[in-house]
């Protein structure tokens, strides 16, 4: 599988962000991953996100599907979805193209002085996987990376790649946490991890691809950019033969 990581910042203008989907999506990849909240940035802490919310047949998800079809690829990108509570939309990933799925963020970022749950409704406790280009993807969003039980639930559902769009807020130790957690999720589950963040200075950047034995195959810096990697299902099979920790678990 060829995967493209798009480490680009979203703005507060949804129309501008939609237009950039086509500009930033290359052909030739099986999967193109944009960051969390690419449809519209979070804005200042505590700002109202309800006006940014759209239905899944709204402008952003429709444009994701259109761009994926035009480029002959599958695109994953984050948006705020209109939900049951008009004041608190859902932080949703939409995947459109050869595979189709929607994942609503389970773990909200109530940490490091932020309160995402004041503005966002958590998604259902259901792991979301999708088959694409010979691999099974498990979807996570940003803060979900800190919760090993979600990664394990996705792997129990068949995931061989954990894909993690994020807007990982910058700060002391945050890059180290991001890269360490991405490697940990890969090592403990013998899976690839593809984690794509928004760039600095507000966010950490450092989009990363980790192999199923914990090798860092690609790591970006802080600035915006587009990066590519190749994922091989045989590497997952070999990692699980070498390190059969999933087969050996007792709990």
Q: Is 66 a catalytic residue?
A: no
Catalytic entry in 8, 54, 81, 105: 105
- Helix 59-71 / helix 14-24 crossing angle, nearest 10 deg: 10
What is the rounded CA–CA span in Å between residue 212 and residue 240? Answer: 8
CA distance 133 to 112: 37
Q: Is there a contact between 201 and 222 (Cβ–Cβ < 8 Å)? A: yes
Q: Are 226 and 24 in contact (CB under 8 A)?
A: yes
Measured distance CA(203)–CA(175) in Å, rounded: 9
Concerning whether 174 is annotated as a catalytic residue, the answer is no
Catalytic hit among 8, 81, 116, 142: 142
End-to-end CA distance of the chain: 32
Residues 6+ apart with CB under 8 A from 174: 168, 204
* Cβ atoms within 10 Å, residue 230: 13
Mode of pairing for the β-strands spanning 161-166 and 192-197: parallel
The answer, yes or no, to whether the previous bond of 35 is cis (omega within 30 of 0) is: no
Catalytic residue among 36, 63, 81, 116: 36
| Cα(2)–Cα(230) distance, integer angstroms | 5
Token pair of 120 as six digits = 């966002």
Is 70 a catalytic site residue? Answer: no
Annotated catalytic residues are 36, 105, 142
């Amino acid at each position: 599988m060829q995967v493209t990581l798009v480490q680009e910042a979203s703005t507060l203008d949804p129309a501008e962000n939609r237009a950039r989907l086509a500009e930033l999506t290359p052909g030739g990849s099986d999967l193109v991953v944009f960051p969390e909240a690419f449809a519209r940035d979070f804005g200042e802490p505590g700002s109202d996100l309800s006006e940014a919310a759209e239905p899944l047949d709204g402008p952003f998800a429709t444009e994701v599907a259109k761009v994926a079809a035009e480029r002959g690829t599958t695109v994953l990108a984050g948006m705020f979805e209109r939900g049951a509570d008009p004041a608190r939309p859902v932080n949703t990933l939409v995947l459109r193209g050869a595979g189709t799925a929607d994942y609503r963020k389970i773990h909200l970022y109530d940490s490091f002085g932020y309160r995402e749950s004041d503005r966002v409704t958590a998604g259902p406790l259901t792991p979301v996987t999708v088959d694409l280009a010979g691999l099974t993807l498990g979807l996570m969003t940003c803060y979900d990376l800190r919760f090993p039980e979600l990664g394990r639930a996705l792997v129990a559902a068949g995931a061989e790649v954990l894909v993690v769009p994020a807007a990982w807020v910058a700060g002391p130790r945050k890059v180290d946490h991001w890269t360490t957690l991405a490697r940990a999720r890969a090592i403990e589950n013998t899976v690839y991890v593809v984690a794509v963040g928004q760039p600095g200075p507000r966010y950490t950047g450092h989009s990363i691809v980790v192999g199923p034995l914990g090798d860092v195959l690609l790591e970006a810096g802080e600035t915006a950019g587009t990066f590519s990697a190749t994922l091989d299902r045989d590497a997952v099979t070999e990692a699980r033969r070498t390190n059969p920790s999933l087969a050996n678990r007792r709990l």
